[in-house]
Structure 1
Amino acid sequence: MPIPDAYLSRTRIAYLTMEIGLRAEMHCYSGGLGLLAGDLARSAAELGLPMVFVSLVSRQGYVRQTIEADGQHDSADPWRPEDWAQPLDVRVALPLSGRTVWIGAWLHELECGGGRVPVLLLDTDLPENDAQDRGLTDRLYGGDATHRLRQEAVLGIGGEHILRALDFRVEHYHLNEGHAAFLAASLLQRHPTDERRAGGVSDAAVPGRAAQRYDAAAVRAACVFTTHTPVAAGHDRFEYDALERELGQALDVPALREFGGEGTLNMTRLALNLSGYTNAVARRHVQTAREMFPGYRIDGITNGVHPSQWVHPAIASLFDALAADWRRHPETLFRADELADDALWDAHGLAKGELLEHIARTTGVTFDPALPVIGFARRMTGYKRADLLFTDLDRLLAIADAHPFQVVMAGKAHPNDGEGKALIGRIVAMSRELAGRLQLVFLPNYDISLAQRLVAGSDVWLNTPVPPLEASGTSGMKAAFNGVPSLSVMDGWWMEGCEDGITGWRIGEADGSDPEGHAASLYARLEQDVLPCYESDRGAWLRIMKQTIGRLAPQFSSHRMLRDYVSAAYLRR
């Protein structure tokens, strides 16, 4: 099918992302980065912004997780794009490793709040391609470094070519992480200087002149870059020998050395040098990003979550009565203190009941609805410290004996993350060891639908990263929209959202320092503040729930985030 003219006539902003969380059945996402992209797309549809989103089709998904006695077992997680998208009549060629790789696209029309935006999912599983190339877009974050390089070339170069072939008139390209930085490199070659057009002096004749043959300012005027990764090892790097071998026919590799670094190509540095606007994703992350990349201007636009995507229907009904336009204008939820206590408690009870029913059906474990449920769900990797709660089992069990509570956890480890898999194994073993004294379950195959249950049905949302390694974090924002307060280390978005004892509780120092003391602080907050309040003072607990909604929902929505991008990045002069 052709792309509808209605999209071509109005779309001016393209958002490129390696993953995007559109719905649970479409497995082209792995976690927070993809869910953020999906929430931004929903806001773009609802607010009527002229955007198109580009990602990979990822037919085999990311990871289908099962939990056995020894922890995570993973396999492919396939889905059928034809069930949710339409194939477009377009093919573009990418010279890759001496071969021509053809790239097609699927169109998913994302509808939200009466609006819609196009989402293009790039696909190399085409009969025109060699067998080794047909699987390039199959598995999200799969394969070795060469496979990753090829995937990012499909996203960046292929995405730019597809948009042009479909006749989109894009004025701004938003690169979601360094994965998409090859788009800027592709644009660079479309903007030669007068010297280049005239067939001027060669790179070999004048070393260091490669970049001067291109109008980088024109590319910067078109590109916006969001960096999410606060860990140096998390920024993709590729050897120039591999780049020359794989993409030497598609890109001017000598020029990229001057934009992406001399030793190896750093995709974040490439994006920084070829983008006119760069932002980190929380105020704290701005400091970290500027320290990692000194000399660059890096602004801050704190992440947000889509209001109606994450609010439980029972809570949403209360919001409808309170402020009918809250979905489009979540700032109106500042009136949450007007919610009736009994109505809010009953609505949360419905959400909690659905979570407990899912726990029983999935694990066979029965939770007590009268006891508080502490929820923890995120990517399972070392710095997230999913096991911090279990640092001192004697202390933890003493607290549970005095103030009974229950714990539900979920999250996937990358197939190559041995530390993350071992962490899951320890938690699963812990659930058996603690049985009878502390109810603990680990739910398998964390996805969008499970996340919706967890952020609405938990009573407390726990977050325990090692600062400053949490760039932003959005799960706590989703919980906040449902009136679920956070108990969190001071890092990422919680540096902005925490009003201690009002919107939740902080673990440790206000500046996030002294991570060695976080376990002791976590136990103290549970024993002295969180659990006694829940079991003994429902009125105070409901005030915290209302303040969590009223003070955090207006700040941390994807509507606010997208409006910030419009004013700071898309409309910049």
Structure 2
Amino acid sequence: MKAIRRFTVRPVLPEPLQPLSDLARNLRWSWHTETRQLFEAVDPDGWSAADGDPVRLLGAVSATRLAELAGDLPFLDRLSAAAADLDTYLSGDRWYQERDGQGAELPAAIGYFSPEFGVTAALPQYSGGLGILAGDHLKAASDLGVPLIGVGLLYRHGYFRQSLSRDGWQQEQYPVLDPNELPLTPLREDDGSPAQVVLTLPGRRSLRAGIWQAHVGRVPLLMLDSDVEENGPGERDVTDRLYGGGSEHRLLQEMLLGIGGVRAVRTYCRLTGHPEPEVFHTNEGHAGFLGLERIRELTGTGLGFEAALESVRAGTVFTTHTPVPAGIDRFDRELVARHFGDDGELPGLDAERVLALGLETYPGGRPNLFNMAVMGLRLAQRANGVSTLHGAVSREMFAGLWPGFDPDEVPITSVTNGVHAPTWVAPEVARLGAGAAGRSENALFAGSLDPEGDPPRWDAFAEIPDGDVWNVRKILRERLVLEVRERLRASWRLRGAQAAELGWIDGVLDPDILTIGFARRVPSYKRLTLMLRDRDRLRELLLHPERPVQIVVAGKAHPADDGGKRLIQELVRFADDPRVRHRIVFLPDYGMAMAQKLYPGCDVWLNNPLRPLEACGTSGMKAALNGCLNLSVLDGWWDEWFEPDFGWAIPTADGLAADENRRDELEANALYELIEDRVAPRFYDRGTGGLPDRWIEMVRRTLVTLGPKVLADRMVREYVERLYAPAAGAHRALDANTATELAAWKDRTRGRWPHVSVDHVEAVAATAAGGSAELGSTLSLRVRVGLGELRPDEVEVQAVAGRVSSDDTIVDALAVPLKPAGGPDMEGRWVYEGPLALDRTGPYGYTVRVLPAHPLLATSAELGLVALPTEATGEGAGVLLR
């Protein structure tokens, strides 16, 4: 029979063991080797049974064992050292404090909002790369001392656990997660009652949420939980599953994350004395409603809506992670309107103004849809993609928000993702590098994070003998083989197989064979089954008599994505074939725990998405940190940092995007040829010492060259210096009066802009016959513009010049400001002049434009206003020099 109520009975730790509780409740243990080893020493068998989760371990350890440990002096010495180390880590100055002390004017705190966080497998609140990235962001911020406050939701069923049916169809299970059994503590009011946030739903109903805290090193992570007794059944289920439910369910989740999240941050800061965030970082559009709540806060102090909007924009950073419009949450405008305004949330804010922030009111948009990414961009003065290529794709995708500007000028920059090395580097690899560098494993990657520490020594890997490198790679491959067999056996038992049927699993994979890994979510564009395009050829690769290959595959399809499930089934059925099942396996239930064994154990990491639809692809970064070589389409981060010294680029048929079948055929053939002709021969080619010398050198180059680039601490430093610090400065510059003045100026400028024009352009230069000019010569430009009621100091007149394409489009454009030379004339026109140096050869052209100008604009494109020459404009406008 079932229990009618569930609760957790916690053991009472003897006084000498009390520090174990603090160590277990701070998730730094998930990336700190000595702390994990300490917990393993508490009960090695229990540690394994608890899947390396200290909270579960302490909840199951016997009173007898605890009494033994309380009298074990060597153990107590280790415990004391670990507790002292954590205290030093939490209280000492780090990189951020050093930069702040040097006058960098950094924000006092940053609110970091994300729909999912993958910090550790012990806190399963993630579905894939977005959540793992968010978790690594928090960890790196903690290591650097960046005063982040993470904000997310606590999903009582997490994402889902994946298994397979007998015929290979994905099945989902949703285990109930008890927060009391997770590394969480409730945030409480001063009187001891649970702290809550409240949202108003249509009909004046209430949605309440409790606030749980996770401690990610120095960084607090606040997680909102709607499963509280005060809610009705429907409201209690709002935070039931990650990415589950219909449109209204998702909308409520995102309202709770954004609006409730800001209220949770305010509550946390009030109760703990933590500084209030000056900058809010919206990690993908799901949290975009946080900007509306901050506008409501400011309008409540008497500030007008437009002024509040300017203040909020100045202090907001928005990161987009999707390169495809289908990956963005969109809601019907009527659904959004029903939840806002006087009868819903944010009373006092005009619902039409709220809607205007997210509606796709631009060419090619669907104005009946409320777009969360569009709102995120309109509410943030600073925005970025997550790789250089993804930044370019994002500028193209959202160019409609800035009409009149070329995509290159759309104000979306990029900060390439990174991964947290202490989390993802195998202990054997860390020990290898630490020994060569002469420092501890934890200090190997984090030395520069401490202002008193030595810089990291990634170059130390270059000094390690070939035999040591190869021995570690073989150990990791052997460990992966054992892990795969164990997981495969468990999977087949769930598929209904009997133990007597599974003897063949003992021969699955071989620790001496080239091992390729492929693991990620399974949307169609990631092309899980591209490797199956020519099955006979794949079998030949797997069963090659001299250079065989083995492949480990994992991945989850969204529960509502039958197309993705069919791809998994197709792969599983191929892998079930007795002819090849010892060389290719599919492992269900891909997650952090599996990934931490998979990345180090593979020799090659495969990534073959449709280019350019992979925003970043951080799994390849984690593999690289373990000396695994990348074999990937030039997409995401690999497009940016690929070199033949440490991997391979799969050629793409970009020009055939419309014919997906033909494109897949060409790219699959390119993949087979690379493995057959270059990858496998390099792995099996042995030098005079019996080692694959050239392969080992590629491993070294991967660690030495890529290692420092793919780190999350590099990524977080970029966010601090390029986005957080400028956002804090912009926010501080906008007090109530300044924000009001800026809002009024923008409104006035928009109203007067239709009267701004480029009326005449003249160019004087010594030109050769045929309209050509010599390199190094100068054009003297003279431009007459109409400004209407605007003043010259409210605009900037520019010449934009560069090489031109066959259709006369300017590429690699350079903007040159022109200066007022007189005016206004009798017709109210102003004259601007300036030189234009001809510094490039070949077809060359220029045009002239007028832009709004104000000291508080982050970019000249911010308002989306530009005046360009018309066909009637005088000679020289858009002149081409060939």
TM-score scaled by structure 2?
A: 0.60
CA distance in 1, matches of 2:581, 2:356: 60
Distance 1:396 1:436, change over 3 A: closer
Structure 1 residue matching 2:261: 3-state secondary structure: helix
CA distance in 1, matches of 2:117, 2:641: 25
Q: Does the CA contact (< 8 Å) of 1:410 and 1:443 recur in 2? A: yes
Structure 2 runs not aligned, ≥5 long: 1-25, 27-89, 92-106, 189-194, 360-366, 403-409, 449-454, 490-504, 658-662, 687-691, 730-882
Q: Does the CA contact (< 8 Å) of 1:497 and 1:503 recur in 2? A: no
CA distance in 1, matches of 2:176, 2:430: 32
Q: How does 1:120-519 map to 2 (within 5 A)?
A: 120-166=222-268, 167=270, 168=274, 169-192=276-299, 212=306, 214-248=307-341, 249-251=344-346, 252=349, 253-261=351-359, 262-294=367-399, 295=402, 296-323=410-437, 324=439, 325-328=443-446, 329=448, 332-364=457-489, 365=505, 366-402=508-544, 403-433=547-577, 435-436=579-580, 439-500=583-644, 502-509=645-652, 515-516=663-664, 517-519=666-668
Distance 1:412 1:436, change over 3 A: closer
**Segment drifting more, 348-357 vs 406-415:** 348-357
Q: Does the CA contact (< 8 Å) of 1:184 and 1:274 recur in 2? A: yes
CA distance in 1, matches of 2:229, 2:684: 62
Sequence identity of aligned pairs in percent? 39
Give the aligned residue type for 2:710: F
Give the aligned residue type for 2:675: L
Which protein has greater RCO, CA pairs closer than 8 Å, 6+ apart?
1
**Segment drifting more, 430-439 vs 418-427:** 430-439
CA distance in 2, matches of 1:184, 1:197: 15
CA distance in 2, matches of 1:224, 1:191: 18
Residue 509 of structure 1: how far off its partner (Å): 4.5
CA distance in 2, matches of 1:341, 1:511: 39
Structure 2 residue matching 1:260: 3-state secondary structure: coil
Larger Rg: 2
Distance 1:462 1:309, change over 3 A: same
Give the aligned residue type for 2:209: I
CA distance in 1, matches of 2:383, 2:606: 30
**Segment drifting more, 327-336 vs 517-526:** 327-336
Q: Which residue pairs with 1:26 in the alignment?
A: 123
Q: Which residue pairs with 2:51 in the alignment?
A: none
Residue 336 of structure 1: how far off its partner (Å): 2.2
Give the aligned residue type for 2:445: R
Residue 24 of structure 1: how far off its partner (Å): 0.4
Structure 1 residue matching 2:636: 3-state secondary structure: coil
Tell me how large the CA RMSD over aligned residues is: 2.2
Q: Does the CA contact (< 8 Å) of 2:653 and 2:667 recur in 1? A: no
Q: Which residue pairs with 2:714 in the alignment?
A: 560
Give the aligned residue type for 1:233: A
Distance 1:510 1:490, change over 3 A: farther
CA distance in 1, matches of 2:482, 2:136: 27
Query: What does the per-residue CA deviation read over 1:469-511, in whole Å, with 9 as the maximum and x for residues that have no partner?
Result: 10011000000000000111111111012112x1110100598
TM-score scaled by structure 1?
A: 0.92
Structure 1 residue matching 2:298: 3-state secondary structure: coil
CA distance in 2, matches of 1:70, 1:276: 47
Which of these residues, 78, 81, 85, is aligned with residue 184 of structure 2? 85
Residue 398 of structure 1: how far off its partner (Å): 2.8
Q: Which residue pairs with 1:521 in the alignment?
A: 670
Residue 77 of structure 1: how far off its partner (Å): 3.6
CA distance in 1, matches of 2:625, 2:168: 35
**Segment drifting more, 63-72 vs 439-448:** 63-72
CA distance in 2, matches of 1:434, 1:15: 49
CA distance in 2, matches of 1:85, 1:512: 51
Residue 193 of structure 1: how far off its partner (Å): 9.8
**Segment drifting more, 283-292 vs 331-340:** 331-340
CA distance in 2, matches of 1:334, 1:119: 34
Residue 11 of structure 1: how far off its partner (Å): 6.0
Give the aligned residue type for 1:255: R
Structure 2 residue matching 1:93: 3-state secondary structure: strand
Which of these residues, 536, 539, 543, is aligned with residue 685 of structure 2? 536
Q: Which residue pairs with 1:73 in the alignment?
A: 171
Distance 1:354 1:399, change over 3 A: closer
Distance 1:54 1:422, change over 3 A: same
Residue 400 of structure 1: how far off its partner (Å): 3.3
CA distance in 2, matches of 1:549, 1:512: 34
Q: Which residue pairs with 1:202 in the alignment?
A: none
**Segment drifting more, 238-247 vs 216-225:** 238-247
Structure 2 residue matching 1:228: 3-state secondary structure: coil
CA distance in 2, matches of 1:137, 1:110: 22
Structure 1 runs not aligned, ≥5 long: 199-210
CA distance in 1, matches of 2:327, 2:608: 19
Q: Which residue pairs with 1:48 in the alignment?
A: 145
Residue 352 of structure 1: how far off its partner (Å): 1.5
Give the aligned residue type for 1:479: A
Query: What does the per-residue CA deviation read over 1:27-47, in whole Å, with 9 as the maximum and x for residues that have no partner?
Result: 111110000000011111111
Residue 513 of structure 1: how far off its partner (Å): 7.7
Q: Does the CA contact (< 8 Å) of 2:199 and 2:208 recur in 1? A: yes
**Segment drifting more, 317-326 vs 278-287:** 317-326
CA distance in 2, matches of 1:275, 1:73: 40
CA distance in 2, matches of 1:73, 1:139: 16
**Segment drifting more, 288-297 vs 12-21:** 288-297
